[in-house]
Amino acid sequence: MRTTGAGSGRRDAAEGTIDGPTAVRAASTGFTILLLGGLLTPIAATYLPVIGRFWLLVTAVVAFAVAGRRIGTAAVPALHGACAALGSYILVLPLVLWMPGQAAGVDVEQLVSSAGMAAGVGAIAGAIAGRRRDGATR
């Protein structure tokens, strides 16, 4: 799961489909972006009225892309990126469900579509990062 040297680009034979420690760090980074973006929503809505409507969507796409592009030594970068981005969404999910106004019930369609978006954006970002990584080692 670790590279054999700093910046060598070679991977160990013991690598897995997903680089676990890198996926956890990537999910944590995505969670941080989602959390800060959510906290900045009232400011964005007040001072950037055009962008404010789409602030949470843009924040989510950025967070999932950042989480998904950190692939480390994953053998399947798209799967790794999807898992990392989905992990960041799962980390923020308790805060979303805990928000006031959710007492009426959970919107299952939104939860599923957000999870799908996380997996899709993370997979695309991971695939692109994998192509760049593998293209640089050739």
- Dump pLDDT digits (tens) for 74-102: 899 999 999 999 999 999 999 888 876 65
Alpha carbons within 13 angstroms on the beta-carbon side of residue 67 total 38
How does pLDDT run across 2-29, given as a tens digit for each residue? 444 444 444 444 467 888 899 999 999 9
Q: Compute the residue count for the chain.
A: 138
φ and ψ at 70, to 5 degrees? -90, 90
| H-helix segments, the chain | 20-39, 41-47, 49-52, 55-69, 77-98, 108-136
**How much is the mean pLDDT over the chain?**
85
Give the pLDDT confidence score for residue 2 in this predicted structure: 43
- DSSP 8-state secondary structure symbol assigned to residue 3: B
SS (H, E, C) 36-65: HHHHCHHHHHHHCHHHHCCHHHHHHHHHHH
Give the pLDDT confidence score for residue 64 in this predicted structure: 97
Q: SS3 for 87?
A: helix
> Which has more pLDDT, 133 or 1?
133
pLDDT band at 51 (very low <50, low <70, confident <90, very high): confident
